[in-house]
Amino acid sequence: MLSAYSLPTLWAHAFAGCVCVLGTPAAASTATEAITSEAEAAPIDGGTRQQEARRETLFAEAVALSRKNRWTEASKKIREVLAIRSTPKVLIALGYTQIKLDQFLEARATLDRARNDAAAAKDTGALARAQAALARLEKLTPQVTLRLRDDVRLTAVEVDGRAVEVSRREFPVDPGERRILVRGACGGTVDAILSAQRGGRLSVDATGLCVPETPKRPQTTPSDLHMPEAERAPPKLATDDPASPFPLAPTLLGAAGILTAGLGSYLYFDGRADHTAAISQCGKTCGSTEWNLQFEEASSRMLTGDILLGAGGALIVSSIVWWLIQDDGTQNETEATPTVGISPVEGGAYGSVLGTF
């Protein structure tokens, strides 16, 4: 079994490569110091000797894997160490492996936990290292900014299927190819694929998302302002679209026009038939009293039919015009009705006319 005092050397060799994670040789030295000092300060009062022996074995396995740049497997071994007994310095070691795996958001959560645990244990060394790692990680973490109009309301923001608080206009992401999905309140969607680099600043253009319509205020009439609340008619919303009343009068006028035109057509064609018959008999009875009466009666019926036919047509046209004027007048009256908003104030109420007359 490896002794506890052989672990610092193993960790120093395994994590010397952390310089590429945090960017400076001093940072790499900090990483090595954090891990080696954790092994030196691992008393056995946290569990049985068998558990501590298992913990040392897992340390050694994690070191061997990290020296081969097998960071995923090394991370799993460190998690097993934490399952036996967690300390701030082991959490810091896990945070570094997560940074190597470009798991920046998980590394931030891990280092946050290490900082809190170190503060609770009054471990000033681990606390300082955790804070330094977090500060450096903040500069390395890519940031995405949403470009929106001020009046756009969002219902969902997702990064690779992970929900982000919709009120945030800037948020961190892990390095790599990221899919950003933004949904607006009125149904618009922006779906963007971004390549996030360490320390990069990216933006998603969502200015094309639609703006939901603002609900209109309830309508009342000016006379309602002075009426008691109990007697006041229920407010009528401006968004209501009541059905137009049936135009009875124009309909009756049109029906009368149709009947008149029909009667006129009948009289005209009936008189015309008798008029034609009288002309055809002119050779035999032309000029007689009986023929003259038949001819004049036929002509009179044709004339009456013409007059009635014209009057019926005029009534039909008038009914159509009336119908159109009445419908247009109703629409204009609705549009011209002022919208009055009543707002309670101390000592009473006031009204402001918002519409046009």
Q: What percent of the chain stands above pLDDT 90?
A: 27
- pTM score: 0.50
Q: Give 42-84 as a DSSP string.
A: --GGGS-HHHHHHHHHHHHHHHHHHHTT-HHHHHHHHHHHHHH
Q: How far apart are CA 63 and CA 70, in angstroms?
A: 10
The C-alpha atoms of residue 250 and residue 320 are separated, in whole angstroms, by: 7
How far, in Å, are 101, 109, 147, 211 from residue 140 at the CA level? 13, 15, 22, 35
d(CA 227, CA 206): 48
Tokens of 122: 């009054």
Q: How far apart are CA 102 and CA 197, in angstroms?
A: 10
pLDDT score for 233: 57
Is the pLDDT assigned to residue 298 strictly greater than 70?
A: yes
Res 169: pLDDT:
86
The CA distances from residue 53 to 4, 50, 179, in Å, are 9, 5, 44
> What integer pLDDT is reported at residue 346 of this predicted model?
40
**Most confidently predicted of 5-19, 50-64, 314-328:** 50-64
- Residue 349 dihedral angles phi and psi, to the nearest 5°: -150, 155
Confidence of residue 110 (pLDDT cuts 50, 70, 90): very high
Q: What are the tens digits of pLDDT across the range 54-74?
A: 988 998 898 889 889 999 999
Q: What is the pLDDT of residues 256-278, one digit of tens each?
A: 888 888 888 888 888 788 777 77
Write down the pLDDT at residue 38.
Answer: 45
Q: Tens of pLDDT along 223-268? A: 555 556 555 555 554 444 455 566 777 788 888 888 888 888 888 8
- Residue 167: the pLDDT is 82
Q: Tell me which of 171 and 210 has the higher pLDDT.
A: 171
